[in-house]
Amino acid sequence: MDAISNAKLAVQALAGAALALPVLMLPVQAGQLETARGGIKFLSYSEKDRMEANSPLLWAEAPLGENFDVAATVTLDSVSGASPQYVSNRSGSPVHTLTSASIIEERREAGVKVTRHFDEGSLGLGASASSEHDYLSQSVNADMRFDFNEKNTTLAFGVGETNDRIGSSTQPTLDEPRTTRDYLVGVTQLLTPVSLVQSNLTYADGNGYFNDPYKYTLSYFLNSRIPVMQRDTRPDGRSSAAWLTRYRHYVPAWNTALLADYRYYRDNWDIRAHTFDLGLTKELARGLKIAPSLRYYTQSPARFYASSFTNAGDLGSSDARLSGFGAITASFKLIYAMDERTSLDASFARYRQEAAYRLGGNGSEGFPTLNANFLMVGMSRIF
Amino acid sequence: MRILLWIALASALAGCANVKPWERGYLAKPEMGFDSDSAQARNLQHIYSSKEAAHGGYGVGGGGCGCN
């Protein structure tokens, strides 16, 4: 490979996710695309004795004129099965009770992004929208990237706003807004010919309706047959910060890329969380790669989380997702390049949430252990 | 304070390395990208953000869902 090609490919790898926007997490390129690309990814997520979700995702991107790229994605989520509805301590200890099996609920999401490329950076504008029968979300965002230090360093800045409307099939009159503004500053740095690091700091400031209209808590106490009922009630604002650092290291002798990611999260609901990812991608033979990985997650409970309430109060939630717990994911992926233009992949992962997995081991009482499987298959093609 | 530390780290990194263009062959491999499979990363982040309290770090905007 000649030096110019090396340089071009390296810049693409460097900025591969300098701004990997959730709104449109397509393979963002540093330079303008030369050809159109597209693909499909199918996710099947299945929880033991609970819900299932199936999500096909289509994506495509193409060069537009001399300096622009356009990218688009469409997703359809179909969710069925039971989910946690209320917590009751009638039996003497907190028990999470599931809804009866639900009909299939669908969520549609579409996004588009246009990027203008310059010699030493880019400017991107994106928009996305999603709809469910009880939830609407619209989002716009902008990002800028600056390459300097002979393209050893890339600085990224982003800003976004998401406007949601929350309804409920059990409270037909519910129609509440929520607005969230996001900010990102990030740096990607080449360290050596075989290693690079990226560090992003994001801040989100949300205002509006954060309650889960489907959840409540029933608390029974001595000498009382009538429970205290606490509807899920959360603060009307949430500010959070996440600091994500990702490291990549290539070992030529093993034909292997190693990855290590860490994210620290905190918010003004007093939740603190740590996420660790470790993995590798090894090229076994020409066109065939394997990628095992491990993920560990731990969080502290929100300050208004409890599994029972003496009195119905202004704030209170027994949503297990706001409790203290930990989670482990073990996954394995196969990637096969059929030819220079077409690639196939398949992944399987096991996910488990448990109170005892919390860092330090003191997870919340009555936390419902969750076991789930992910299965993902995908195909991508260069046109 | 945290932001100041972060900026200091970024500044330090910016001055610490100079990998020449012809030395970037390994860095150019797809598996060295931070989101070499962005569609999969997007699907996974969507599931995790509906099952865990933490979110963010990867980008800005989007992802609104009644599942959270």
Choice among A12-26, A96-110, A122-136 with the minimum mean pLDDT? A12-26
pLDDT at residue B11 greater than cutoff 90: no
> pLDDT digit string (tens) for A319-362?
999 999 999 999 999 999 999 899 999 999 999 999 999 999 88
For domain A2-382, the CATH superfamily is monomeric porin ompg (2.40.160.40)
User: What pLDDT, on a 0 to 100 scale, did the predictor assign at position A293?
Assistant: 97
User: What pLDDT, on a 0 to 100 scale, did the predictor assign at position A92?
Assistant: 81
| Pair A225, A219: CB distance under 8 Å | no
**Mode of pairing for the β-strands spanning A228-231 and A102-118:** unpaired
**Helix or strand run (H / E) with residue A105:** strand A102-118
| Pair A174, A167: CB distance under 8 Å | yes
Which residues 209-238 of chain A have a CB within 8 Å of chain B?
none
Q: Give CA–CA dist A281/A370, Å, rounded.
A: 28
**Helix-then-strand count for chain B, H and E:** 2, 0
pLDDT at residue A379 greater than cutoff 50: yes
Predicted TM-score (pTM) of this structure: 0.89
| Chains A, B: CB pairs < 8 Å | 296
User: What pLDDT, on a 0 to 100 scale, did the predictor assign at position A4?
Assistant: 45
> pLDDT digit string (tens) for A106-141?
999 999 999 999 989 999 999 999 999 889 999 999
pLDDT at residue A13 greater than cutoff 60: no
Cβ contact B60–A184 (<8 Å)? yes
A135 touching B (Cβ < 8 Å): yes
User: What pLDDT, on a 0 to 100 scale, did the predictor assign at position A25?
Assistant: 35
Q: Give CA–CA dist B34/B13, Å, rounded.
A: 18
> pLDDT digit string (tens) for A258-286?
999 999 999 999 999 999 999 999 999 88
Q: Give CA–CA dist A9/A7, Å, rounded.
A: 6
Residues A191-216, buried b or exposed e (16+ Cβ, 10 A)?
bebbbbbbbbbbbbebebbbbbbbbb
Which residues 304-323 of chain A have a CB within 8 Å of chain B?
321-322
> pLDDT digit string (tens) for A152-176?
999 999 999 999 999 988 888 999 9
SS3 (DSSP) at B58: coil
pLDDT at residue B62 greater than cutoff 90: no
Mean pLDDT of the region A221-228? 82
Shortest distance between the Cα of B12 and any Cα of chain A, in A, equals: 10
Q: Give CA–CA dist A106/A128, Å, rounded.
A: 17
Q: Give CA–CA dist B53/B44, Å, rounded.
A: 14
Mean pLDDT of the region A19-30? 37
> pLDDT digit string (tens) for A299-314?
999 999 999 898 888 8
Q: Give CA–CA dist B46/B53, Å, rounded.
A: 12
pLDDT band of A28, cuts 50, 70, 90: very low
In chain A, what are the domain boundaries? Answer: 2-382
Nearest by Cα to A71 from A106, A117, A108: A117
CA angle A142, A259, A17 (to 5 degrees): 15
> pLDDT digit string (tens) for A239-255?
999 999 999 999 999 99
